[in-house]
Amino acid sequence: MTVKTPKNICIFEDDQFFTLFPLTYLRPVFELRCGAVTLAERIRRFFPNSDILYQCRDYLAPLLTENSAAIRVNQMINDDCLFINGSVLCDQALVNTVLQNTDCTFTYNNKTIAFWNKLTTSKKEIDVRCIRYPWDLIKLNAEALKDDFEFTSKKIHGRLYDGVHLIQPENISIGADSKIKPGAVLDAEHGPIIIGNGVTIMPNAVIEGPCYVGDHSIIKAGAKIYEGTSIGPTCKAGGEVEASIIHGYSNKQHDGFLGHSYIAEWCNLGADTNTSDLKNNYSSVKVTINGETYDSGLLFVGLIMGDHSKSGINTMFNTGTVVGISSNIFGGGFPSKYIPSFSWADGANTAEYRMDKAIDVARTVMARRKVTFTPAYQTLLQYIFEMTSHERTS
């Protein structure tokens, strides 16, 4: 059978983005992280010689264009093109299938997954890993990390100080300029460990694979990072973290437990912040997203936190809590299990966070990491503020 190599790959976002709020308020679905890379990066690495295009919601396009300068965003294409749904956890099996069949539309549970040039009436149902809810990212993270290890150098670079313990080093990849300090344990017996470039693992930290620590991140002294965890670039992580994704540019550097959770960018969890990820009656966790309550079908779901949100010291989050973007949570007791975007929540009451104040803080936080708070970013924040206003007045 002839295998066709696409000249162009269009990674598109379908109309199910709202079931991934608040994580997709400021980014398209395909920019979410699962494993060591985003969903888009996972697709792109299978097509190194193809030109890449993105299709997303119109209001995301200006910021996405800024962040993806070499990629065309929301532009028409009249040339040969393979369209791939950005919610897919792409793998070699999917790639082989779509490259060998150019005359049909591939679907999964009636969801369009891929097609060549234009939709066709001829459909083929295929089995793929697809992201529909935030907990899908968490559930598939360990599996994705095992896939991602095959794309690493599988070599150990950087500096390992005396007293570092590596268990099954053949399953460990460490990038350039990284430092692993005395007493640290990297245990890859149950899955690979991927350490990026310029990472610091402080003394006596324990990391269990499968796990990923992104470029320029810091794992604090004595941290316990358990399997199924991805910590994106430029993060600080300490305390106890299990089966969670910290997207990037966020901090959870103090004691406290974070489990089966997804933390977006520019978040900060105060000292002794704790998340419950298991109900006392062992029933499946229900989660509220965009005004609808869903049964996750899972025993373990922790905290889903949108960009720029923060918790004060000693904050407790109940099982399956969702926090929108630019919200601040503090005070005693459990806050509500659903906290709207741009809110101040003290456990008993919730008030609206002024837009001008939220912008000032976001600009300050990003500047500390030498990231520019652009007009496009501000415009998008203001758009989401208006879009979510009904949640704060209902």
CA 184 to CA 162: how far, in whole Å? 10
Domain membership flag for residue 41: yes
Closest CA to 342 of 359, 332, 327: 327
Instruction: Please tell me the predicted confidence (pLDDT) of residue 394.
Output: 62
Q: How many CB atoms lie within 10 A of CB 325?
A: 29
Write the CATH number for 329.
2.160.10.10
Residue-level pLDDT at 330: 94
- The answer to whether residues 182 and 263 belong to one domain is yes
Of 132, 157, 173, which closes a domain?
Answer: 132
Q: Using CB atoms within 10 A of its CB, is residue 121 exposed (0-12), middle (13-18) or buried (19+)?
A: exposed
Does residue 272 belong to any structural domain of this protein? yes
Under 8 Å CB-to-CB from 76, ≥6 apart: which residues? none
Which sign does the torsion angle of CA 139, 141, 142, 148 carry? Answer: positive
> How many independent structural domains does the chain possess?
2
104 found inside a domain: yes
Task: Compute the distance between CA of residue 178 and CA of residue 156 in angstroms, rounded to an integer.
Answer: 10
Specify the pLDDT at position 30.
98
Q: Does any domain span residue 330?
A: yes
| pLDDT confidence of residue 2 | 56
Residues 128 and 277 occupy one common structural domain: no
Instruction: State the CB neighbour count (10 A cutoff) for residue 186.
Output: 27
Which of 132, 160, 176 is the C-terminal boundary of a domain?
132
What pLDDT does 1 receive? 47
Do 110 and 153 fall into the same domain? Answer: no
CA–CA distances in Å: residue 249 to residues 148, 264, 373: 21, 8, 14
Same domain, 274 and 329: yes
Residues 6+ positions from 257 with CB-CB distance below 8 Å: 239, 240, 241, 242, 274, 275
pTM: 0.96
Structural domain contains residue 1 = no
Give domain status of residue 138, yes or no.
no
CATH of the domain at 122: 3.90.550.10
Residue 140 lies in a domain: no
**Shared-domain flag, residues 109 and 163:** no
| Residue 59 domain boundaries | 8-132
Residues 94 and 161 in one domain: no
Instruction: Say which DSSP state 270 is in.
Output: P
pLDDT at 344: 94
Task: Note whether 193 and 84 are same-domain residues.
Answer: no
- Tell me: do 301 and 172 sit in the same domain: yes
Which DSSP letter does residue 263 get?
Answer: E
Same domain, 106 and 165: no
Long-range contacts of 249-255 (CB under 8 A, 24+ apart): 249/366, 249/369, 249/371, 253/218, 253/220, 254/220
Rounded Cα gap, residues 197 and 152, in angstroms? 12
Classify residue 100: in a domain, yes or no: yes
Same domain, 121 and 173: no
Burial 366-377 (b: 16+ CB within 10 A, else e): beeeeeebeebb
> Mean pLDDT of residues grouped by 10 in the chain (394 residues)?
78 96 98 98 95 96 91 88 96 92 89 85 89 98 97 95 98 98 98 98 98 99 98 98 98 98 98 97 97 96 98 97 97 91 89 95 96 97 97 82
Task: For residue 375, give the H/E element and its range.
Answer: helix 375-387
* 51 plus 168 within the same structural domain: no
